[in-house]
Structure 1
Amino acid sequence: MRVVCPHCLAVNNVPQKDSYKKANCGKCKQSLLDTKPVELKDSNFDEVIVNSDIPVIVDFWAPWCGPCKMMAPNFEKAANKFPLKVLFTKVNTEEEQNLGARFGIRSIPTLIIFKNAKEVHRVSGALDENSLNQLLSQFI
């Protein structure tokens, strides 16, 4: 399966398994199991979405948004539970207004799940860690 490196955004081919002890990027050699959310920009958004065989969840947020700040730790905790199962990404709608407009983001936080480069689910409003885990489990 194709997986985008969260560090250098290189596309890696990784054998599909139930769990992984080690998986490193072929380009930058850093761990693909690092689950820190990736900051997406207009310049790399399509490349990441198209080149990921695993579901990609995008958190559309803004620095001034209270519910976004409340949900951020839950988003990072959930990312730790799904290494090489889901790619966690974030789009700052203040900096990337074109992406917000392109996807019709009317309220934040808004989460969009992409699978096979297509939007498969969307939810607006802050989610707690359990709700986020249950949502993602449906798409793995």
Structure 2
Amino acid sequence: MRAVVYDRYGGPEVLHVEDVAKPVPKNDEVLVRIYAVAVTRADCATRQANRRSGRGFELVSRAIFGLRRPRQPILGGDFSGVVEAVGPAVKEFAAGDEVFGSTGIRFGAYAEFISRPESSRITRKPKSLSRVEA
């Protein structure tokens, strides 16, 4: 699958598209084909390692997200899409369900697919919202 990744901190120029392994849902996970993703201030601050917030905050940020390079190379926290597959223990979702959710600081949504635990911040998309609005 394709994903927008970064392997060093910096401005938007550090982002690039790369082929990465498609996730396989574990026992309790939902595999979502992503159709829309938000680009948030948190994504930008993480990508820059919060250099604009002061040296102390930059050190805290790097301690969390990776000292020399990002631990998680795929940013993106808020997404919407369609369930592609589910693990055997998943009860609330089925293939074809339209969903939206947030990964929190785990990121990973700047990709074609994401696999998240059923118990995480993911829910069915209301029919009244488009995938982008969700």
TM-score scaled to structure 2, two decimals?
0.29
Higher relative contact order at CA 8 Å, sep ≥6: structure 1 or structure 2? 2
Higher strand content, 1 or 2: 2
TM-score when normalising by structure 1: 0.28
Greater helix share, structure number = 1
Larger radius of gyration: 2
